[in-house]
Amino acid sequence: MRRALLLGNEARRRTGPNPWVGCVLLRDGAVVGEGASAAPGGPHAEVVALRAAGDRSRGATAVVTLEPCSHHGRTPPCADALVDAGVGRVVAALDDPDPKVAGSGFARLRQAGIDVEIGVGADEATAALAPYLHHRRTGRASCVVKTATSLDGRVGAADGSSRWITGARARADAHELRALSQAIVVGAGTAIADSPELTVRDAEPPPRPPLRVLLDGRGRVPATGPLFDAALAPTLVCTTDAAAPGAVEAWGSAGAKVAVLPAAPCGVDLVAVLELLGSEGVLQAMVEGGPTLHGALLRAGLIDRIVAYVAPSVLGATAVPMFGDWTSRTLREAARLEIVDVRRLGDDMRVELEVC
């Protein structure tokens, strides 16, 4: 199962909106085939492993990180492929919460007389497939906030300058995070201040560039600069009825897709944004907005994970805080986070946290 999880994780940047699944076929104590999911439209992990094993699939045990699918999509059902290959046993880490599967894959296998065991490596698979599982259970894109901060939690100096708080290795790692996401989200303030590209540059790019998403409820951001260069990547602007018609028309003329969503005190309704991204097949949305957007997401309880790159510097009380004006009056009201990973990257630390 550890090998299957590794295979799945290595395929992650190419599979969205499908899950990154790994499969290992065992017979007589030896690996006879293995594989991972291809890009959408290509074979799933089970089929790749079965092709590698050939006739040795008969009577083998298939170890797979997620329940085999049972429906016809772009490819035939994997459960049928396992049955047709004569596999004798299937060991899976997790049930697939996708309503199109939801236990029917296991039912198909058992109906054919195949022994099924569920739960081996479940914790590891749950962590590895977290964005996919969240998307299928809620319909919303999983929200991962990325921030670069000083030791005292400041993302910009008192004069507003923020490039670069962290070093080159931390910035390269952030591009790896972009490559694993299907969308990169910024607010209007960040777009105006930084004129960002929001593309994958210092990492192996995915087959399709992540969707660039601008949240601008009032039409503040002009339709110019790299964010509106369609040759780099597609752009979606989420706005509200408060935006001037001229701004909406300019965004569309520049080649961006524009979605008018409900308004909220922070600008655009953030639940509606994540639901829209989910409907567009975005499993993981990486938010690189400024402190105002990050604070609004924290206040709304919409952050699933935070990746903080922490520099060994102190910027002081008048510098820009990581979560804007978000505050808790007491320790009891504090946002609770769980550290899931800590790594050193050059002079900086990468701290990954889940919101409890």
Domain shared by 31 and 101, yes or no: yes
Distance CA 225, CA 121 (A): 46
Domain shared by 119 and 251, yes or no: no
Distance CA 206, CA 129 (A): 17
Q: Is the pLDDT of residue 159 over 90?
A: no
Peptide bond into 164 cis (omega under 30): yes
Express as a percent the part of the chain with pLDDT over 70: 100
Domain shared by 202 and 102, yes or no: no
**DSSP type of residue 240:** -
Q: Among 103, 129, 155, which residue terminates a domain?
A: 129
**DSSP type of residue 58:** T
Residue 134 maps to a domain: no
Contact by Cβ (8 Å): 311, 166: yes
> In this predicted model, what pLDDT tens digit does every residue of 71-126 receive, in sequence order?
877 788 999 999 999 999 999 999 999 999 999 999 999 999 999 999 999 999 99
For residue 120, give every residue at least 6 positions away whose Cβ sits within 8 Å of its Cβ, in sequence order, or none.
1, 63, 91, 92, 93
Calculate mean pLDDT across residues 279-294. 94
Strands 183-187 and 211-215: parallel
> In this predicted model, what pLDDT tens digit does every residue of 46-64 receive, in sequence order?
999 999 999 999 999 999 9
Distance CA 217, CA 3 (A): 46
Query: Which tokens go with 313?
Result: 């510097």
**DSSP type of residue 266:** T
> In this predicted model, what pLDDT tens digit does every residue of 316-329 receive, in sequence order?
999 999 998 888 88
Which residues does the annotation mark as catalytic? 46
Calculate mean pLDDT across residues 255-271. 95
Residue-range definition of the domain harbouring residue 316: 139-355
Q: Among 86, 105, 129, which residue terminates a domain?
A: 129
In 18-60, DSSP assigns E strands to 22-27, 30-36
Domain shared by 149 and 96, yes or no: no
Per-residue confidence (pLDDT) for residue 255, from 0 to 100: 95
Distance CA 293, CA 300 (A): 11
User: What CATH number corresponds to the domain at position 270?
Assistant: 3.40.430.10
Domain shared by 312 and 348, yes or no: yes
Query: How many domains does the structure of the chain reveal?
Result: 2
Residue 128: pLDDT band with limits 50, 70, 90: very high
Instruction: Count other Cβ atoms within 10 Å, centred on residue 330.
Output: 6
Mean of all residue pLDDT scores within the chain: 94
At 258, give phi and psi (nearest 5°).
-120, 130
Domain shared by 37 and 157, yes or no: no
> Tokens 């016809």 belong to which residue?
72
Instruction: Count other Cβ atoms within 10 Å, centred on residue 297.
Output: 25
User: What CATH number corresponds to the domain at position 110?
Assistant: 3.40.140.10
| b/e code 173-189 from CB counts within 10 Å (16+ = b) | bbeebbbbbbbbbbbbb
Per-residue confidence (pLDDT) for residue 345, from 0 to 100: 96
Q: Among 107, 129, 151, which residue terminates a domain?
A: 129
* pTM higher than 0.85: yes
Calculate mean pLDDT across residues 252-271. 95
Query: Which tokens go with 183?
Result: 């969308």
If residue 190 lies in a helix (H) or strand (E), which one and from where to where?
A: helix 188-194
Rg (CA), the chain: 22
Residue 319 maps to a domain: yes
CA torsion sign for 257, 307, 135, 69 is positive
